[in-house]
Each structure stands twice: as C-alpha cells, then as structure tokens.
Amino acid sequence: MKATKKEMIYEGKAKKIWSINEDENLLLAEFKDSLTAFNGIKKSQELGKGALNNKISTQIFKILETNGIKTDLIETISDNEQIVKKCTIIPLEVIVRNIATGSLTKRLGIKDGTVLPFALVEFCYKNDDLNDPILNDEHALLLNAIENQDELNYLKNEAKKINSILKEFFIKKDLKLVDFKIEFGKDVDGNIILADEISPDSCRFWDAKTNEKLDKDRFRQDLGNVKVAYEEVLKRILS
Ligand code: 5GP
C-alpha cells in the first residue's frame, strides 16, 4: 500500500512511529540503524541493521500469523518501514526463556546454557527510569499495567504458543531459540495482538551446532560481526 508520513508520534531506541495521511487506524514503523544495550547506556550505529530487523521481523510475524497468532503487522512497504495496526502498547515486556543465560543466570545463579525443563515466562515493567524491573502478576495488576488476571493469563498462553511455533521453526534452520522478548498491544476494538518486533535485537539465537551467538549479545559483549550475525539469521530464515 501507499503510505505517506504525517507526524512522528513516538521515537524509541530502535524505531520511529509515524501517523500516516491515508488511514488514522494505521501507523508506520520505521526501523532505525541504532544499536543500544543496557537501557541505552551503550550506543552504536550499524548501517543496514534496521532493514535487516525489518525483514527478519516481517518474516517471523508472517509465520506466526499463519499459525493463528494475531499481530499488528499489515504490510512491509520498504527496506526499513512497515505499516502496522494502531494499538495501545501494554507496558509489559513478556520474556520467554528456553535456555538460561543473561539476567536469569545472574538473578538466580542458574548455570549459563542450562536447558530449562519448561519454557519460563517472565514479565518486566516497561519503564526505562526503573530499568524495566521484573514483576509478578500482582505487581502488574497493582501498577494497572494490565486490566485483569484473565488478560495476564492470555499473555502467558500466547507467549508460550509463540515460543512453541518459533522454537520448532528455528531449530529447522539450525538455530536454538534461547530466549526472547515480546510486546503486546490492544487494538481499537480491544483485542490483544502481538506488536513491536521479533528480531536479533530482542531474541537470543545460538547456532545449533556450535552455540555461536547470532544476536545482540554480539554487541552487548563486544564480540564483533554484529551485522554479519543478523545477516546470517535472515539468510537462514529465508532458506
Ligand atoms: P535478559 O533478561 O536476559 O537481559 O533478556 C532476555 C531476553 O529478552 C533477551 O533475548 C533480550 O534480548 C530480550 N530483552 C530483554 N529486555 C529487552 C529490552 O529492553 N529490549 C529488547 N529489544 N530486548 C530485550
């Protein structure tokens, strides 16, 4: 579809969100080349990263839609732009983990690389000033981050479904889906839909044979070849 930008309504670390002249119920998401970590403390630019994430996320959202997950994606219209359904983002980061690494190992002392006996779902409060703290169901309700327990249960179930679909998909591409962060929004009709993006910025992917990291940990841990890794993920997804 043809879309012309009207007004920038939000700029985050990885995307700009615009209203468009053609439809007030749709928005344009522009993927940026900026790379950030540790709540924006570490910053860099990687030319072409936005386009890679746009392509990767588009493909993943399409796979999820095919498998019955409702998402905000309408159409990807250029290298780094997509048209999405307008929705109000629920201020919870939903994290699903299959293998222990990152903050889980630090918080609970679980050995890095431990395969978890079940997919672990966690919620973090989307609040940069507070450093996105982890919270439980009652905290989420207390903060009015979500309306009720049924909606929280829905997020958990949807996150587990998304994990099952993607874990199976990625292992066929020789990638272990270690963990990922997703966000949900409520559309104008009040339906909860998957929003934001799913990309190497928000997931951890390890090569199934070598455990080589193919995600933003390459930037977080100064491992180099960030873009090469993202390109490899895209290549495998499209293969
Ligand atoms: P951890 O809690 O171990 O730092 O992260 C768990 C997973 O969620 C990782 O795949 C990580 O990339 C993702 N994640 C956690 N917080 C954020 C965030 O604020 N932004 C993005 N893009 N991903 C996040």
Per-residue pLDDT tens digits for 8-64? 999 999 999 999 999 999 999 999 999 999 988 999 999 999 999 999 999 999 999
Rounded CA separation 79/191 (Å)? 29
Number of domains in the chain: 2
Looking from the CA of residue 14, the nearest atom of ligand 1 is: 22
Q: How far is the CA of 1 from the centre of ligand 1 (A)?
A: 32
Per-residue pLDDT tens digits for 172-203? 999 999 999 999 999 999 999 999 999 999 99
Are the C-beta atoms of residues 94 and 100 closer than 8 Å to each other? no
| Whether 83 and 97 share a structural domain | no
Inside any domain, residue 106: yes
| Whether 71 and 188 share a structural domain | no
The DSSP call for residue 129 is G
Q: Whose CA is nearest to atom 7 of ligand 1?
A: 180
Are the C-beta atoms of residues 194 and 163 closer than 8 Å to each other? no
Inside any domain, residue 235: no
Q: Whose CA is nearest to atom 21 of ligand 1?
A: 202
Inside any domain, residue 230: no
Q: Which of 35, 54, 87 is the last residue of a domain?
A: 87
Is residue 107 very low, low, confident or very high in pLDDT (cuts 50, 70, 90)? very high
| Average pLDDT of every residue of the chain | 97
Inside any domain, residue 236: no
Inside any domain, residue 81: yes
pLDDT for 207: 98
The secondary structure of 168-228 as a DSSP string is HHHHHTTEEEEEEEEEEEEETTS-EEEES--STTTEEEEETTT--B-STHHHHTT-S-HHH
The H or E element that residue 11 is part of is strand 5-11
Residue 123 bridge partners (DSSP): 94, 135
Q: Which of 72, 87, 102 is the last residue of a domain?
A: 87
Inside any domain, residue 231: no
Q: Whose CA is nearest to atom 22 of ligand 1?
A: 202
pLDDT for 23: 97
pLDDT for 139: 98
Give the domain extent around 25: 5-87
Pocket test for ligand 1, best of 43, 95, 96 (most atoms within 8 A of CB): 95
| Whether 44 and 114 share a structural domain | no
Q: Whose CA is nearest to atom 16 of ligand 1?
A: 181
Inside any domain, residue 239: no
Largest separation between any pair of C-alpha atoms in the chain: 51
> What percent of the chain clears pLDDT 70, i.e. is strictly above it?
100
Q: Which of 71, 87, 103 is the last residue of a domain?
A: 87
Inside any domain, residue 135: yes
Q: Whose CA is nearest to atom 3 of ligand 1?
A: 102
Q: How far is the CA of 21 from the centre of ligand 1 (A)?
A: 33
| Whether 130 and 161 share a structural domain | yes
